[in-house]
Amino acid sequence: MDKCTHEVCKQHWKNIISQCLQRPEGMTAKQWLDENNICEQSYYHWLKKIRQETYELATTTSNTACMKTMNSEVAFAEVPLPAMNPVSPGENGFRPDITINTGSVIIGVSNTASDALLNKLFEVISHAR
């Protein structure tokens, strides 16, 4: 499978996996897959493949080189959230799972955003300061 076809298939399966993870409470993955006419073997094949690629991306030398330039000390901070009215979906039905406010720009991000997109987004935000 060429790289372009693989990326299209991977995005298709990421969407299916995301939908399956949001299935109704009490419904098993097998029930959801059967109900949506999705081959269980294909589902788990792509789930494994996507997890492996994500792990490999997270452990590549370029990512670790980038991480080494940051402060090596780990700290946790509470992020207070202001009281807000619930975000209603826009015209296209998009409802962000997380919103990043940099002061001059507000960015809505879906939980299906790729790791590569998130890495690039954080890189751009860090250079914008």
pLDDT in tens, 22-48: 999 999 999 999 999 999 999 999 999
Mean pLDDT across the stretch 88-104? 70
**Percent of the chain clearing pLDDT 90 (strictly above):** 24
* Helix 40-58 vs helix 3-21: crossing angle, to nearest 10: 110
Q: Which residues pair with 101 in a beta bridge?
A: 106
**Percent of the chain clearing pLDDT 70 (strictly above):** 74
**pTM for the model:** 0.46
Q: Where are the domains of the chain?
A: 3-67, 85-128
C-alpha 67 chain-centroid distance:
19
User: Would you state the structure tokens that stand for residue 60, as one six-digit string?
Assistant: 């590549």
User: What span, in angstroms and rounded, lies between the C-alpha atoms of 82 and 90?
Assistant: 21
What does the CA dihedral 78, 79, 85, 91 come to, rounded to 10 degrees?
-130
Look up residue 9 and give its amino acid: C
Q: What is the pLDDT of residue 98?
A: 79
Query: In Å, what is the CA distance from 81 to each residue of 61, 88, 98, 112?
Result: 35, 17, 12, 22
The residue among 103 and 88 whose pLDDT is bigger is: 103
